[in-house]
Amino acid sequence: FDLRDLKPTMPITRELVLGEELGKGGFGRVFKAKHIYMGKWYAAKLFDKTSTAQEIINEYEALKDLNHNNIVKFVYNGLSDQGLFFTLMELLDGENLSNYTNTKSDLRLPIDEIYKMAIQLLDALVYMQDKGIFHRDIKPNNIVWDKRQRYVLIDFNISTALEDDTA
């Protein structure tokens, strides 16, 4: 099964049905996904076939216990009926900051919003660093302005967790 064959309304498990596509990148595609038994929407990131189960498990294990308002919440990992690995995350309601950094766009963030964003993201990064986790891909595409209230880090594909060498 090819990642490009995924379409809205397609079930990926007995309980998850795809909604609209939210984005795509080098590792896969992200869709809204409805958990039909809970009636709740999530973001489902489906990985291409080149991603190994261990890479996806490592990412999830490093991030599942993070609990910070400015870091996307991870729910669980799974294997779709199509044989693709996926990660289920909280669904954010907003746009990524690339809309505000595109030189062809008239959108600009006011200085007080830039200050607020910097405080929130630096707080999230310090929180992660204190837990030995480093994002390693901070860029406008990986920051969502959720409900125009909070700035949230997303896309942790190349994040790393420091090994504990003290044991």
Which segments of the chain does DSSP mark as H helices, in order?
53-63, 98-101, 111-130
Residue tagged active-site, from 48, 106, 123, 137: 137
CA–CA–CA angle 119, 64, 91 (5° rounding): 70
Beta-bridge partners for 86: 46, 78
Active site residue 93: no
113 contacts: CB under 8 Å, gap ≥ 6: none
Query: Are the C-beta atoms of residues 41 and 32 closer than 8 Å to each other?
Result: yes
Spatial distance between the Cα atoms of 100 and 95, rounded to a whole number of angstroms: 9
Closest CA to 144 of 34, 30, 33, 40: 30
The residues carrying an active-site annotation are 137
